[in-house]
Structure 1
Amino acid sequence: MTGGNNGKKGVPIHDGGCRMSGSFLRLPQVLALAGLQKSALYKRIGLGQFPRPVKLSARCAVWPEDEIRDWQKRQIDSRDNAA
């Protein structure tokens, strides 16, 4: 993983053979993308309705950007299929 996060962009991550690509996002970025308040976000995590964070340390949690984008797409698909 590389540093240099200015708080506006995700932290770049390296694939390392995993399915993941893109960046790690911090909580303020996730809240902005999800359009949720922190309490609602964590409630959905607890219900299995939102991606769980990745703990990098005891005080640092991040979300893979691709998982958040997939969640957004599922919300749109759900809306479109309900019509």
Structure 2
Amino acid sequence: MGYMKAVLVHQFKQAYGRGRIEGVIWKVPEPVPPSRHGYKYRLVYLVDGERIVGYDNERGKGDHRHRGGRETPYRFVDVPTLLKDFIRDVEQIK
């Protein structure tokens, strides 16, 4: 059985509100611990270079979000829900 590489699922970068949103989502061959799903992602809303909202699943931290200077756990369901939740948080702040 050969090694499966990560596959880019979604990538974006665009002006949004007072700043810009950026994101990348990869399908990975194995979960990024302690996450249990097969995705690696990083989504961010930046204003003047400062992260206002962010979602990611950094190795060792698992799924979490950054909002209002606080980091809280995030329950990953699927990619469409992740994108919807991220945009909802950005809309509430922008």
User: If the TM-score is normalised by the length of the shorter chain, which range does it land in?
Assistant: 0.3 to 0.5
Higher relative contact order (CA 8 A, sep 6+): 1
TM-score with structure 2 setting the length: 0.29
TM-score with structure 1 setting the length: 0.32
- The structure with more strand, counted as a fraction of residues: 2
